[in-house]
Amino acid sequence: MLFKNLMELMGIEPGRIQFSWISSAESTKFVKVVNEVTDEIKALGPNTRFVKEIAKVA
């Protein structure tokens, strides 16, 4: 929780990082959560923050 909040403070959009706990017996919950997460992330678009492309040499 502290981690997620700190990431969001530094500029990661709310909804980009998600946590869940699903038992192996909860298949419906699994499908539901996966669908929700993918929908939310698609709405946010590709992540650009904390992505390193090529190191800039000073």
* Residues that bind another protein in the complex, under the rule CB under 8 A: 1-14, 18-21, 33, 36-37, 49-52, 55-58
Q: Could you tell me the smallest distance in angstroms from the CB atom of residue 29 to another protein? A: 8
Give whichever of 20 and 27 is closer to another protein, judged by the CB atom: 20
- What SS3 state is found at 51? coil
What does R_g of the chain's alpha carbons equal in angstroms? 15
Q: Could you tell me the smallest distance in angstroms from the CB atom of residue 12 to another protein? A: 7
Q: Could you tell me the smallest distance in angstroms from the CB atom of residue 24 to another protein? A: 16
- Buried-state track 3-14, b at ≥16 Cβ within 10 A, e below 16: eeeebeeeebee
